[in-house]
């Protein structure tokens, strides 16, 4: 069945424009409560279902949080509120407190005037398709409050931050510490603004926190994982050993060395996998996406590490990891998964895995990953109507085929529609940067003409 509201990462859009409105959030809370109650009753008898709500620092989070809380309470669900909390923190607390579900209010790396609502199941994973569809089905029913005796209650979980900080620290080896390391941590004025610095300080690092003064409007603004140049500048300014940059909801990670060299998700995934491969602790293979750099695939083949590509989106990486019973996967955007550490992608925990590898080897990140040289990769985004089917256009197919012929097996061409924005993404990669750029622009021009026609 086709989803009406849920995309690849929950429900997302511009605040004040359907579906990111207070009335929809109210109805969504009620619908989710009713859908979750059915499954909860089957597993727990008459016990009342309970749902945790977290959010990032967007000003619209107050509005959506209140509306969701009201809808859930009207449906008979108890609600736990934790305030600003990284998305993976919501997943952890939902699982740790044995709750029915968790809800995160965030638009991740998007600007402040977007927002979104994503759900976690009781085990801290993204909701199954069947549950999302059941929530959408419930949205078609009228919102009718239960009687007073059946209504849910709401309370704040006061020690949420401390619980999550301790969980993050538990994923770092007890035999290691970060003493003597000066880190710049860019929190993107987002959900990790308070939690993130404390995790690394409590493990011994000297932390220079930036992007840690949220005002509701500055989340992701020229900072964080989507603008790593800010982190890099701070590393150089403070003569730090390393920089870490999270995004607004702290599930993405970018890093840089002392000299300002940047490392994306593919390189960080390689560092984590290489460390486990060398120590004999890697379980199975690695899952990337259609956007994963071709050089990473080739390097894993040289290491005899199995590698598979999933569709773009961390939920699809997660699905394939579970299907294959593997632990490690991720995207070049900085979503990284280590399923032996957490049920979902976590920027803080991913950084700790990289730092553990460097502490064990005594190497800088550039030195540790020197045997991986990424292919030049050019990504061009074209804003087009979501209804445009680029895969059915003959001119686009001809342009792609011509580019693939010119690459002669030493690169890739990928066209895909964004799951969160009205964009067609054109990606070309190969050994020669000038050739890659030329081919990407040529295909993008063809897509633009076809879409305009």
**Residues 246-279 as b or e (16 or more Cβ within 10 Å = b):** bbbbbbbbbbbbbeeeebbbbbbbbbbbbbbbee
The DSSP string of 317-346 is HHHHHHHHT--EEE-TTSBEEETTT-SS--
Structure-token pair, residue 194: 């308070």
CA separation for the pair 69, 91 (Å, rounded): 18
The DSSP string of 155-207 is EE-TTHHHHHHHHHHHTS-TT---TT-EEEEE-TTSTTTTHHHHHHHHTT-EE
Residue with tokens 């424009």: 17
Neighbours of 190 (CB within 10 A): 33
Task: Output the CA torsion sign for 323, 325, 331, 335.
Answer: positive
Neighbours of 424 (CB within 10 A): 23
SS3 label, residue 388: coil
Residue of 108, 121, 125, 350 marked catalytic: 108
CB 65 within 8 A of CB 81: yes
Structure-token pair, residue 136: 């959408």
**Which residues, in sequence order, are CB contacts of 380 under 8 Å at separation 6+?**
425, 426, 427, 440, 441, 443, 444
CA separation for the pair 256, 241 (Å, rounded): 9
Is 108 annotated as catalytic? yes
CA separation for the pair 164, 180 (Å, rounded): 24
Element (H, E) at 23: helix 22-44
* Orientation of helix 195-202 relative to helix 347-361, angle to 10°: 20
The alpha carbon of 288 is separated from its chain's Cα centroid by a whole number of angstroms, namely 14
CB 244 within 8 A of CB 185: yes
Instruction: Give the catalytic positions in this structure.
Output: 108
């Amino acid at each position: 069945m086709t989803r009406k509201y849920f995309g690849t990462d929950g429900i997302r859009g511009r605040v004040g424009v359907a579906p990111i409105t207070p009335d929809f959030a109210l109805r969504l809370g009620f619908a989710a409560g009713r859908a979750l109650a059915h499954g909860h009753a089957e597993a727990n008898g008459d016990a009342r279902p309970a749902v945790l709500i977290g959010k990032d620092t967007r000003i619209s989070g107050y509005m959506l949080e209140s509306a969701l809380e009201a809808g859930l309470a009207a449906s008979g669900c108890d609600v736990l509120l934790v305030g600003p909390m990284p998305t993976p923190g919501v997943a952890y607390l939902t699982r740790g407190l044995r709750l029915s579900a968790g809800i995160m209010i965030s638009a991740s790396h998007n600007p402040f005037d977007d927002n979104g609502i994503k759900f976690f199941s009781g085990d801290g994973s993204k909701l199954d398709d069947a549950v999302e569809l059941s929530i959408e089905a419930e949205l078609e029913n009228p919102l009718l409050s239960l009687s007073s005796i059946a209504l849910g209650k709401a309370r704040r979980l006061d020690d949420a931050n401390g619980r999550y900080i301790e969980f993050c620290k538990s994923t770092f080896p007890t035999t290691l510490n970060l003493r003597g390391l000066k880190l710049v941590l860019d929190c993107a004025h987002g959900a990790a603004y308070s939690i993130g610095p404390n995790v690394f300080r409590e493990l011994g690092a000297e932390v220079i926190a930036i992007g840690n003064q949220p005002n509701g409007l500055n989340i992701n603004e020229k900072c964080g994982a989507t603008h790593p140049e800010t982190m890099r500048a701070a590393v150089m300014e403070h003569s730090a050993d390393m920089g870490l940059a999270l995004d607004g909801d702290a599930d993405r990670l970018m890093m840089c060395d002392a000299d300002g060299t940047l490392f994306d998700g593919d390189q960080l995934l390689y560092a984590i996998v290489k460390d486990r491969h060398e120590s004999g602790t890697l379980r199975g293979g690695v899952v990337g996406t259609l956007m994963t750099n071709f050089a990473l695939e080739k390097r894993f083949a040289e290491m005899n590490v199995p590698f598979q590509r999933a569709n773009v989106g961390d939920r699809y990486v997660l699905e394939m990891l579970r299907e294959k019973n593997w632990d490690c996967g991720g995207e070049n955007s900085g979503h990284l998964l280590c399923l032996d550490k957490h049920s979902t992608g976590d920027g803080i925990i991913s950084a700790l895995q990289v730092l553990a590898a460097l502490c064990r080897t005594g190497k800088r990140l550039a030195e540790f990953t020197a045997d991986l040289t990424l292919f030049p990769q050019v990504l061009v985004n074209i804003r087009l109507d979501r209804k445009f089917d680029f895969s059915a256009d003959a001119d686009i197919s001809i342009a792609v085929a011509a580019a693939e012929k010119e690459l002669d097996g030493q690169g890739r061409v990928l066209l895909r529609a964004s799951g969160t924005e009205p964009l067609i993404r054109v990606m070309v990669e190969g050994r020669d940067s000038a050739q890659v750029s030329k081919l990407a622009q040529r295909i993008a021009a063809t897509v633009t003409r076809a879409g305009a026609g």
